[in-house]
Each structure stands twice: as structure tokens, then as C-alpha cells.
Amino acid sequence: MILEGPARKVVLIWPYNDISALGIRVLGSCLKRAGFAARLLFLPVEAGDRSLQPEVLQQVEELCSGSLFVGISVMSSCLQRVALLSKHLKRSLDVPIVWGGVHPTLMPEQCVLFADYLCIGEGEEAIVELAEAIARQGSVMDIRNIWPVVEKSVRRGPLRPLIQNIDLVPFPDYELADDYVLYEGQMIRMTRDHLEFFLQEGPVKPIAGSGYYTTMTSRGCDLNCSFCSNGSLRSLYPGQRWLRYRSPGNVIEELSRVRNLMPFAGSVFFCEDTFFQRATGQIEEFCRLYKREVSMPFFCLGTPYGLTREKLELLVDAGLYLVQIAIEAGNSQSATGYSSGATDQRVLSSARLLGEFCSRMFPPHYEVIVDSPFDSAEDVVQRIRLLARIKRPYRLQFSPLTLLPGTELAARARREGLLNQEDAKRLCYQRPCQRKSYLNCLLLLLNTYVPRFLIRFLASRPFRFLFNRRYFERSAESLHSLIKAVLGARRQASERTLARL
């Protein structure tokens, strides 16, 4: 039974756009299971305005007032926003502020001015112990995974072992019992209609077309891409199994709620890079149950690892209609050393395999990192040549490299003098804009019908000598926007096709 009343209420805040917010929804369920009330506040960035207006801060303050504590989920990308919010709450309320998530876990010292407690690593058990301790006014100094901030320094303590049986983690909280969302400058009570609206606006909207339910069937990853936080997170747990899978039965139990919870959801999104790495037997069981109990179209992320014809056959038969493959997680040619040793051959063979399923699925999406300060022009040309070997149709998605704090790549950038203090502040936390260089334009052309041999030709030395220069970058601004507009129109057409399916 949930005991209502401020003495038992914890407020959890999610300051990002995608309100599927697995982190705080799982924590909300843990708190409720332990008899606490959880109020979830969602603060999507409105119209590109990452700051929070004074009226919004005031409303959030009112919603947090009188709670046991306010917990905020912190990724580095939102550090400034969360810092502003926390400063405001600390000034105006007498309620402890708790930061959890990837940023405090990897960069605890950077959080001391804003939080009273940091949750390092997994929060399921720690948050309940913290709530119990605060509710009975007991000591909060010795809770594993909770590091108090005392006089602006972190008091480090021991970490709990990783949850090995992740089937024990409760399903995300979608009760909407006491949830609020920022909409047009107001914190409004979240209804099913709002949920539908915001889930439709999620980050993979162009792929999904309609509202979708996001979940994960695993935790951790056994690859080691140097731009990703995964390696640093794993290093906190030496000797422990880091990549953990939920059992197919447990995933299906969660998904069988979707039709009731979200009648509007048109598909399910598995948002983990490790989806295809499960053993074939597990995938077989998952697909058998999925077809029987869930039977909704689904799409997922992946890497060039683990894809086999047999797995794809089973998954497509069960409703898989699109995959997004992170190519950089398999590119050994790059000087950036993104990957843990995959070869171009692996990328090409995965792409060939996906090509075989083209008549039964949407063209695959390939995620490509651009604008790495470690890449020479020759590295980029190698990537263009590699991509030009993949048979169309496909869609490339480009992400400018973000040097996330605590990653191997950020450390290397600092060592090699590629980042001074100012750059570190700017680049490590905010996703930069994609450069409009000649070579990036060639990459964009791969998304069009321009023949691939022509793109390879345009990437040859004489053209690079003429065009891969600053003057081109400046004038390419308008060309770039034009190509994007054409692609946008194409995407809308494919959304309409999807909506008809």
C-alpha cells in the first residue's frame, strides 16, 4: 500500500526530451513497491530553450515542496540546465537534492555545488534505503551507492554489487498517478493524452511515425567504443558480469501491458546496442512469446556484432521492421579508434545481410559519427568509401562527435592537447553542430540517389585539394541546408508510408 502525504513522497525529475525516461520510471516503481509515493516531473526542452524560465522554476519548486527529497537524473548533456534547477531548489526549499545517473556516477566532483547526495551507479535499492533513512530521520551516511556531499566535497563510500538478475527490477512506472510535464511554459498534470503527445514527439519519431513504447532488454554492453561512457561505467565493477540480459519471459510480461497502458502505441522500441548479441535460442524464445503475447511491430538499435541470418529471420517474422546500426561501433579504419576491433568486413557483411531483408523491412539506418578531431581527411575518405560499398537503400544518420566526460576519447583529447579548458566545457557537454565541410557534404550525398561511383570520384585527391577547404565550408552552408530540405521531404514521404502500413 502506498502511504500518501508529504512525509512519504519523493519527487523525481527528468530534464530531457524523451519522456520514456526509463531511469526515473524504474525508480518510481521501486519507491512505490516500498510504500512511498513518487511524483514524476518531466521537463522536456521547449522550442530549443535549454534554460528554465523563472515561472517554471517557481512551479517546479511548488511541486517539490514538502517532499522527502528531490531526485534528478543527470546526463552530462543537460548539466547546465540541471545545475540551474538544483541551485534554485536548494535556495528555496529545505529538501535534500539527490543527483543520480551517468554524470554523477562518472564525474562526482563536478556535482558538489548542486546536490546533497549523489547516487553512484544503479539506484533501485539505494533510493529506497535513502527514502527510508530520511523518512525516519536516521543516518544517511552509510548507504551503499549514496555518496553524501559534505562541505563541498564528496564523501566516497562502497558500491553495491551490480544487480545480476535484472528480471527483479520492476517495470517502469506508467501509472500517471501524480506526474507532471512542462508544456508551453506550464507544469501540467500528465494525462494519457499528454503521454501520447510527448511519446509521439520522441527522439525516434522520424522512424516510428506514431507513439511507441521504449524499453531495454539488457544492461551494460561488452563492446568498448572509446567515445562511449560504457567502458568507464564498467570499470567501476571489476570482476562482475556487466552485460546482463532479462529473460524473454520477463520482457514479454512487461510488453503485454503496453496495449492497455498505451492504446495509441504503434510499435515497440528496444533502445540498446546489444539487442542482436543474445544467443539464437533466446531470440527464438523471445520471438515465439512476442508473436503470441504482444504482436506489435518493433524496431531496435544494434551494432554490426551478433547479427545473423537466422536471428534476423526470426525477428522479422515476429514484427521487426527497422534497425539502426551504429557503424562507428565497428569501424577499425578510423584513427579515432572508436571500436573494440571490428573490421570493415563485419560492417559490410552485416549490411549485406540486412539488404537481404529489404523487401520485408524498412531500409536500415546507419549511425555514423562525424567531425572527430582525431580523424584526418584520409580517415573520412576511407569512411566514405566504406559506406559507398553498401548497397542502397539505406539511410545514414550523422552524429557529430561529443567528447563525453569520463570517456577514453575525452581523456585522449586532453592528453593530445586537442581540448583546452574552455573547449572541454563546451564540447564535452553539448552536442556540437555538424560541420558543413566538403567531406561531410559527400557523406550527405550518400543519402541521395547520386551514383556511388560519382561520390567516390568526388572524394579523390584532386577534388579534395580544390574543395576540402575553409572557403567551401562557408559557402556550403546553403548547399547543405538544401540537401537537408530534400531529405526532410523524403523522410516525410516515408513517414506517410509507415502510417499507412
- Where along the sequence are the contacts to ligand B12 (CB under 6 A)? 16-18, 20-23, 26-27, 71-73, 75-77, 98, 100-103, 119, 122-124, 127, 203, 216, 228-230, 233, 271-272, 402, 404-405, 431
Count the site residues for ligand SF4 by CB under 6 A.
10
Task: Find which of ligand B12, ligand SF4, none residue 380 binds, CB within 5 to 8 Å per kind.
Answer: none
Choices 38-46, 138-146, 187-195, 219-227; region in contact with ligand SF4 by CB under 6 A: 219-227
Cβ atoms of 27 and 12 closer than 8 Å: yes
- Least Cα distance to 401 among 453, 463, 350, 337 occurs for 337
Report how far residue 119's alpha carbon sits from residue 495's, in angstroms, rounded to the nearest whole number.
40
The minimum distance between CB 272 and ligand B12, in angstroms, equals: 6
Alpha helices by DSSP H, 76-143: 79-92, 102-106, 124-135
* Choice between 21 and 149, CB closer to ligand B12: 21
The minimum distance between CB 356 and ligand SF4, in angstroms, equals: 23
Q: Which residues pair with 400 in a beta bridge?
A: 370
The minimum distance between CB 272 and ligand SF4, in angstroms, equals: 8
Task: Find which of ligand SF4, ligand B12, none residue 119 binds, CB within 5 to 8 Å per kind.
Answer: ligand B12
- Least Cα distance to 157 among 119, 125, 130 occurs for 119
Report how far residue 136's alpha carbon sits from residue 28's, in angstroms, rounded to the nearest whole number.
20
Residue whose C-alpha cell is 581527411: 377
Residue 221 as a binder of ligand SF4 (CB under 6 A): the answer is yes
The arrangement of strands across the sheet holding 153-154 comes to 153-154, 146-150, 117-119, 97-100, 69-73, 9-14, 37-42, 180-183, 186-189
- Could you give the count of Cα atoms lying within 13 Å of 95 in the half-sphere of its Cβ? 29
Task: Find which of ligand SF4, ligand B12, none residue 303 binds, CB within 5 to 8 Å per kind.
Answer: ligand SF4
Footprint (CB under 6 A) of ligand SF4, residues 272-311:
273, 303
C-alpha grid cell, residue 439: 567531406
The minimum distance between CB 118 and ligand B12, in angstroms, equals: 8
Choices 16-24, 51-59, 126-134, 216-224; region in contact with ligand SF4 by CB under 6 A: 216-224
Alpha carbon 256 to its chain's center: 24
- Least Cα distance to 447 among 334, 341, 370 occurs for 370
- Least Cα distance to 211 among 220, 219, 202, 222 occurs for 202
* Choice between 225 and 251, CB closer to ligand SF4: 225
* Choice between 134 and 228, CB closer to ligand SF4: 228
Footprint (CB under 6 A) of ligand SF4, residues 357-396:
none
Report how far residue 121's alpha carbon sits from residue 501's, in angstroms, rounded to the nearest whole number.
41
- Least Cα distance to 300 among 327, 260, 273 occurs for 273
Task: Find which of ligand B12, ligand SF4, none residue 110 binds, CB within 5 to 8 Å per kind.
Answer: none
Residue whose C-alpha cell is 546533497: 116
User: Binding ligand SF4 by CB under 6 A: which of 106, 233, 326, 369?
Assistant: 326
Residue 323 as a binder of ligand SF4 (CB under 6 A): the answer is no
Q: What b-and-e string marks burial along 329-367, b requiring 16 or more CB atoms within 10 Å of the CB?
A: bbbebbebbbbbebebebbbebbebbeebeeebbebbbb
Residue 77 as a binder of ligand SF4 (CB under 6 A): the answer is no
Other beta carbons within 10 Å of 295? 12
The minimum distance between CB 221 and ligand SF4, in angstroms, equals: 3
* DSSP 3-state of 425: helix
* Choice between 86 and 336, CB closer to ligand SF4: 336
* Choice between 116 and 375, CB closer to ligand SF4: 375
C-alpha grid cell, residue 469: 577547404
Residue 230 as a binder of ligand SF4 (CB under 6 A): the answer is yes
User: How many angstroms separate the Cα of 425 from the Cα of each of 49, 110, 186, 231?
Assistant: 19, 12, 30, 21
Choices 42-50, 224-232, 375-383, 443-451; region in contact with ligand SF4 by CB under 6 A: 224-232
Residue 228 as a binder of ligand SF4 (CB under 6 A): the answer is yes
Task: Find which of ligand SF4, ligand B12, none residue 26 binds, CB within 5 to 8 Å per kind.
Answer: ligand B12
Report how far residue 154's alpha carbon sits from residue 176's, in angstroms, rounded to the nearest whole number.
34
Residue closest to ligand B12 (Cβ): 100
* Choice between 149 and 221, CB closer to ligand SF4: 221
Task: Find which of ligand B12, ligand SF4, none residue 326 binds, CB within 5 to 8 Å per kind.
Answer: ligand SF4
The minimum distance between CB 401 and ligand SF4, in angstroms, equals: 12
Report how far residue 360's alpha carbon sits from residue 352's, in angstroms, rounded to the nearest whole number.
14
Query: Residue type at 474?
Result: R
Choices 218-226, 280-288, 350-358, 489-497; region in contact with ligand SF4 by CB under 6 A: 218-226
User: Binding ligand SF4 by CB under 6 A: which of 119, 225, 323, 351?
Assistant: 225
Footprint (CB under 6 A) of ligand SF4, residues 167-196:
none
How far is the first Cα of the chain from the last one, in angstroms, to the nearest whole number? 43
Site for ligand SF4, rule CB under 6 A = 221, 223-225, 228, 230, 273, 303, 326, 329
